Chain A
Amino acid sequence: MTEGTKQQMDVCAASELPSGEMRLVDAPDGTKIGVFNCDGTLYALEDRCSHDDGPLAEGPFDADACTVECPRHGSLFDLTSGRPKTLPAYQPVPTYPVTIEDDIVKLEVA
């Protein structure tokens, strides 16, 4: 994430985001962000493929490998880093800190 004023936003109750599930949210600045539960660990990345702005977070999600595949052209992204693992994307997408506080999934956004 880039530097600047940051704020936390609630995503959902932790029980509403079990392992293998994804929740799509809108940040206050309008950015769409996918929050993923990879076997109990939460990750968040922007819902925008670095190849052609495709709806990345809405593609097939592999919780075991902790990857998501862009539904447009098939680039596979590492959810832990936002880095592409396959072409045609070659640039990373933004990731965001995500935590659970008082049983609420919270996202740190700009």
Chain B
Amino acid sequence: MATDRVNLVREGFEAWNSEDPHWILEHMTPDVEWIAPERDPFPGTYTGYEGVQEFWSRWRNAVGQLRFAPEEVIDAGEHVVVIAHRWARNSVTGLQISDKVAQVFSFDDQDKCVRVQEFHDRGTALKVAGLSS
């Protein structure tokens, strides 16, 4: 059910903020794709568990541990759209970030996440998920 997917995504953010990324990987398919936009420190498509972990590792090295506060979690059937505030501070470089990101989580019929797409604007994320902004 779509509602379960919304709850699953909410739990995923809680897991992330609890520094439990393995919980997230357990709810992804082995060939999951994580697609970061061009205007990202690490743009590109990251595939599989290793790819996703590499993407996370790059972020961690750049900005420290990212935290997320989902502001909207929108049911879009096979997709869940999240508009989240994210923030971090790299204690070594002093870099601080505080911005918003739009993410589209796509699921298979087993409620496993098959794709995560990130955007810098809400409208594009909604459009990708088949919703109007």
Please report A residues at the B interface, Cβ cutoff 8 Å.
51, 73-74, 83-92
Interface size class on chain B is: 10 to 19
List of B residues within 8 angstroms of A74 by Cβ = 39
12 contacts between A and B (CB under 8 A): A74-B39, A83-B93, A83-B94, A83-B95, A87-B40, A87-B63, A88-B40, A88-B41, A89-B41, A90-B63, A90-B90, A92-B93
Q: How far is the CA of A85 from the CA of B90 in the complex (A)?
A: 11
Question: How far is it, in angstroms, between the C-alpha of A90 and the C-alpha of B62 when the chains are bound?
Answer: 6
CB distance from B73 to the nearest CB of A (A): 23
Task: List the A side residues contacting B93 at CB < 8 Å.
Answer: 83, 90-92
Starting from the known contacts A84-B95, A92-B93, 5 additional A-B residue pairs (CB-CB under 8 Å) come to A83-B94, A83-B95, A85-B95, A88-B39, A90-B95
Binding site for A on B (CB under 8 A): 39-41, 62-63, 90, 93-97, 99
Residues of B within 8 A of A73 (CB): 39
Closest to A81 in B: B94
Name the B residues within 8 Å of A88 (CB-CB).
39-41
Closest to A89 in B: B41
The complex places the Cα of A74 from the Cα of B38 at a distance, in Å, of: 12
Specify which of A51, A83, A85, A92 is in contact with B41 (CB 8 Å cutoff).
A51
